[in-house]
Amino acid sequence: MTQKPERFLALDVFRGMTIVFMIIVNDPGSAASFAPLDHAHWFGFTPTDLVFPSFLFAMGNAMSFSLKKFADISNAAYFWKIFKRGALIFLCGYLLYWFPFFQHTASGWSLSPISDTRIMGVLQRIGLCYIFAGLMIRFFSKTGVIVTSILLLFGYWFALLIFGDHDNPFGMLTNAGTYVDKAILGDSHMYHGEGVAFDPEGILSTLPAIVNVIVGYYAGVFIQKKGKVYETLSKLLLLGALFIFLALCWNMAFPIAKKLWSSPFVLVTTGIDLILISALIYVMDIYVGRKWGWTSFFLTVGKNPLAVYLLSELLGTLNDMASTKNFNVLGSVDKATQWIAPGALGSLFFAIVYMLICWCFGKFLEVKKIYIRL
């Protein structure tokens, strides 16, 4: 009988840290945030830009365990399992933007129109990356996966250069990805947080994001094969440093940009993630073992990442639905944190409080031994 592979603790802690930081940067108070807690406006890199690619890396790492269960099933059954899970994640993301599904107008209650609902998004990209990475891993050799990943990075670069505006191929509204999104999705189904129709999780920019998952997957396979020893971690650290070096070199021709999900952005984020996961394994499994109690805080979130993330995205909408003209719970918390510490510090305090509310939900699920996975 095949023994079930043991998930290493560092993966769940890494994922928990990613979700915790994601909630903090996504849900600040009303005041302006500290600069490191904001995304780079366009070119450049901040700690906040690392959050989403780190979740993709963690998903790939987890796939190095979960896909072993599908090793002996038929290709058709494998495809169905991969497609079903990816499609459900995509659907959750779409429904998240459509929620609360109903609206109250002067003529009464009616179904919220889907004509302006965003189609792509964070969970949608996660679902698509899961499908394509899972298919690559199953049907390509390791060499084939690596070659395909390189082609995705360079192919995306060439696509932007060839099909984007020749004078400004990496601009927000003049890159090939925006042209593709407008042609396929339409302006009304795109993100408008920048004040214009531009989707940072668009169709074309999803292609290089697949590589974040692939690197996470092979990092997990390598750790399982070689063990959590100094040699394993040193090789991962060196590879991470190499990726960062290559990203900085490539940055001179193809700028690092999260919202564009540029190819050097993939390299710099996977490089940092390789270093971070190595550091966590060293601290937790080599240097001090599993003695440090701080890991339990992140494990609470890391074992239920989807549920906690969904709550963090829905909580603001639920609060608005339950609010009255004279009372708003989160609004009151925001005013209190601004009274205690006006400005960016109060905004950070609010984000931490918001995160802790979501964490308590994760703790409730953990105590009840409820683990929500698609």
| Mean pLDDT in order along the chain per 10 residues (374 residues) | 55 90 87 85 93 94 90 91 94 87 68 82 94 95 96 97 93 94 92 89 96 96 89 94 97 95 97 94 74 78 88 85 77 87 89 92 89 76
CA 111 to CA 303: how far, in whole Å? 35
DSSP 326: S
pTM: predicted TM-score of the whole model, two decimal places: 0.90
- For residue 165, what is the enclosing H or E element? none
- For residue 374, what is the enclosing H or E element? none
| Per-residue pLDDT, 109 | 67
255: amino acid identity, one letter:
P
Average pLDDT value over all residues in the chain: 89
CA 261 to CA 52: how far, in whole Å? 11
List the structure tokens of 350.
Answer: 């609010």
List the structure tokens of 224.
Answer: 């399982």
| Per-residue pLDDT, 101 | 72
Strand partners, 108: 105
**Mutual orientation of helices 9-26 and 305-322 as an angle, nearest 10°?**
20
Map residue 109 onto helix, strand or coil. strand
CA 45 to CA 258: how far, in whole Å? 7
286-342 pLDDT, tens digit per residue, is 776 555 677 888 888 888 888 999 998 888 888 877 777 777 888 888 888 888 888
CA 154 to CA 156: how far, in whole Å? 5
What does the buried/exposed string (b/e) look like for 214-228 if buried means 16 or more CB atoms within 10 Å of the residue's CB?
bbbbbbbbbbbeeeb
184-222 pLDDT, tens digit per residue, is 999 989 988 888 999 999 999 999 999 999 999 999 999
CA 71 to CA 86: how far, in whole Å? 18
| Per-residue pLDDT, 324 | 73
Q: Where are the alpha helices (DSSP H) in 27-102?
A: 51-66, 75-98
